[in-house]
């Protein structure tokens, strides 16, 4: 799969900040006070706040417009230059206050102090001017992001108006929230709190376990009539709660050096995915992968499209096995007492129903194997017809789904010989099958039928594309 985010433009509205970093070494303590002396070797300026969201969108190859307030000062001038350098289309609104700036001093990879320059809040009339300007850009937007850092740009009037207007246009609006005044986010498509922020709006500190997060998020989603909540959970990954389901995404980070800006990366990748036509589940999977990359960096640094592609390709290469390699993996798993779950299909048009099937199947054992009809197999089934998506693309997409452990391709019309070879503990099929119809069930320990997710089928999608639905 060639990951591509060059879809419809993303409109980011929110608090613009300049992040400045002083990097250096520490070798002694100051004689003036018991504090370390940092000998500065590098100074770095980056886009922060809503600017970091926009920068992440741009570095992923997504067209992005940023609206926000900047002071008429040196910090504002630097912010504008950084936007131009990072391919962010900035629509600056000049404020009578100063540009918000956060300066961090880093010594030996450790943040020693942060110095903030900011106003208490922007004047209300300036927030109104942002709203007036934003309404001009909504018709072209594929996704709108409200990046609220509590600095005054995302007023109650602005948020409510933007959400109302985006719903009229059927444009998703993603909110990165701040504080407990969530009434202004009512009706948003997706809100992305972390665990602490979710606890604040719930009114109690929360444990970071699956049940607590899922139950609390479901209650908050209903209370504020939200389409979905995506809760970022640090080392526990993410949890997506919408009207129909709860999905947990385990963290993909191998090393964590700095979590600053990780939330912005999640929001930006989610927005880029939705604006480019990826489904919500796939967009969250990509956001989770991007978060795993950015926390291994120091400072507010965007994820590059090439990095995300490489991470997905690495994941794909590790999961895709030949039938012989898969048989060896299954033999090893069986010796260690792991339960092998098997499912198969063409998966020509991957949709949310398939993701539901894989995740429910994963609950039945330790190792989930997905066998995919190759292009040659589909040609045999369709008497020379070809799949809509080639086998490499189909395998790439399935490899990106959390819970799928291994993938293999088979050229035969059916996977019967493969099932005989690996002898899975459980064979899984969707609810359109009856147990007695499942091929190869006699070579497995048991058969499981997963009910279909209502409203999701490849045939229905094809009919809609053809204008027959």
291 or 230: which carries more pLDDT confidence?
230
275 neighbors 53 (Cβ within 8 angstroms)? no
Is 80 exceeded by the pLDDT of residue 121?
Answer: no
Rounded average pLDDT over 81-91: 95
- The pTM for the full model equals 0.70
pLDDT band at 213 (very low <50, low <70, confident <90, very high): very high
pLDDT in tens, 89-111: 999 888 878 899 999 999 987 88
Mean pLDDT of 373-383: 88
pLDDT digits (tens, 9 = 90+) for 18-62: 999 999 999 999 999 999 999 999 999 999 999 999 999 999 999
pLDDT band of 258, cuts 50, 70, 90: very low
Q: Which residues lie closer than 8 Å to 85 by C-beta, 6 or more apart? A: none
- Tens of pLDDT, residues 300-317: 678 888 888 887 777 777
Q: 249 or 447: whose pLDDT is higher? A: 447
pLDDT at site 257: 46
Q: Can you give the pLDDT at residue 292?
A: 83
Say what the pLDDT of residue 397 is: 85
Active-site residue, 73 included = no
| 15, 264, 405, 425: the active-site residue | 264
pLDDT average, residue stretch 227-246:
90
Confidence of residue 255 (pLDDT cuts 50, 70, 90): low
Lowest mean pLDDT, pick from 170-184, 244-258, 279-293, 409-423: 244-258
pLDDT at 263 over 60: yes
Domains and CATH numbers, the chain: 10-315 (3.40.1190.20), 320-465 (3.40.50.620)
Task: Determine the pLDDT at residue 303.
Answer: 86
**Mean predicted confidence (pLDDT) in 75-91:** 95
Supply the pLDDT for residue 285. 86
pLDDT of 297 over the 80 cut:
no
Are the beta carbons of 230 and 240 closer than 8 angstroms? yes
- Which pLDDT value is given to residue 296? 67
The pLDDT assigned to 468 comes to: 45
What is the four-CA torsion angle of 235, 44, 177, 65, rounded to 10 degrees?
-120
Which are the contacts of 280, defined by CB distance < 8 A and separation ≥ 6? 190, 228, 240, 242, 274, 352
Q: How many CB atoms lie within 10 A of CB 88?
A: 24
Mean pLDDT of 5-28: 93
The contacts of residue 295 (CB under 8 Å, 6+ apart) are 253, 255, 256, 257, 258, 259, 262
Range with the poorest average pLDDT among 70-79, 177-186, 258-267, 355-364: 258-267
Which pLDDT band, with edges at 50, 70 and 90, does 1 fall under?
Answer: very low
Backbone angles phi, psi at 115, to 5 degrees: -120, 125
pLDDT in tens, 280-290: 888 898 898 88
**Most confident of the ranges 149-153, 218-222, 434-438:** 218-222
pLDDT at 70 over 70: yes
- Could you give the strand order of the β-sheet that contains 89-95, starting from the edge strand earlier in sequence? 89-95, 64-71, 10-14, 143-147, 173-176, 190-191, 228-232, 238-242, 246-249
**Secondary structure (3-state) at 418:** helix
Q: What is the pLDDT of residue 467?
A: 56
Q: What is the pLDDT of residues 330-352, one digit of tens each?
A: 988 888 788 999 999 999 888 88
Mean pLDDT for all residues in the chain: 88
Instruction: State mean pLDDT over 183-199.
Output: 96
Residue 398: CB atoms within 10 A of its CB come to 22
Look at residue 50 in the predicted model and tell me its pLDDT.
95
């Amino acid at each position: 799969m060639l990951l591509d985010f060059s879809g419809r433009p993303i409109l980011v509205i929110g608090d613009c900040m300049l992040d400045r970093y002083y990097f250096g070494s520490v070798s002694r303590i100051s004689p003036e006070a018991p504090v370390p002396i940092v000998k500065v070797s590098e100074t770095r300026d980056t886009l922060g706040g809503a600017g970091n969201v926009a920068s992440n969108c741009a570095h992923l190859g997504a067209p992005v417009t940023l609206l926000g307030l900047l002071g008429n000062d040196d910090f504002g001038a630097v912010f504008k230059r950084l936007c131009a350098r990072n391919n962010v289309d900035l629509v600056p609104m000049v404020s009578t206050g100063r540009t918000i700036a956060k300066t961090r001093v880093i010594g030996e990879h450790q943040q020693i102090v942060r110095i903030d320059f900011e106003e208490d809040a922007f004047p209300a009339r300036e927030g109104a001017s942002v709203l007036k300007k934003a309404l001009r850009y909504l018709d072209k937007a594929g996704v709108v992001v409200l990046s609220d850092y509590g600095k005054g740009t995302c007023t109650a009037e602005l948020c409510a108006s933007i959400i109302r207007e985006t719903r009229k246009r059927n444009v998703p609006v993603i909110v990165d929230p701040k504080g407990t005044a969530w009434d202004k986010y009512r009706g948003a498509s997706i809100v992305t709190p972390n665990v602490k922020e979710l606890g604040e709006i719930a009114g109690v500190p929360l444990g970071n376990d699956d049940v607590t997060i899922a139950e609390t998020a479901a209650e908050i989603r209903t209370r504020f009539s939200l389409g979905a909540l995506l809760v970022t959970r640090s080392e526990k990954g993410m949890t997506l709660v919408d009207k129909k389901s709860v999905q947990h995404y385990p963290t993909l980070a191998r090393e964590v050096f700095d979590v600053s800006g990780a939330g912005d990366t999640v929001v930006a990748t989610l927005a880029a995915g939705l604006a480019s036509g990826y489904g919500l589940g796939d967009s969250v999977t990509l956001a989770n992968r991007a978060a795993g990359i950015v926390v291994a960096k120091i400072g507010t640094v965007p994820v590059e499209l090439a990095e995300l592609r490489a991470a997905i390709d690495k994941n794909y290469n590790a999961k895709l096995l030949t039938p012989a390699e898969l048989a060896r993996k299954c033999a090893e798993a069986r010796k260690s007492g792991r339960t092998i779950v098997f499912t198969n299909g063409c998966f020509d048009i991957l949709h949310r129903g398939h993701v539901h099937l894989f995740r429910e199947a994963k609950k039945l054992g330790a190792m989930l194997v997905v066998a995919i009809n190759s292009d040659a197999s589909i040609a045999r089934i369709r008497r020379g017809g070809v799949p809509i998506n080639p086998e490499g693309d189909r395998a790439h997409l399935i490899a990106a789904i959390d819970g799928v452990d291994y993938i293999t391709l088979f050229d035969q019309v059916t996977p019967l010989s493969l099932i005989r070879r690996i002898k899975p503990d459980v064979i899984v099929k969707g609810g359109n099958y009856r147990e007695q119809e499942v091929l190869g069930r006699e070579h497995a320990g048991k058969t499981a039928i997963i009910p279909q997710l209502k409203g999701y089928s490849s045939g229905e999608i094809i009919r809609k594309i053809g204008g027959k639905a």
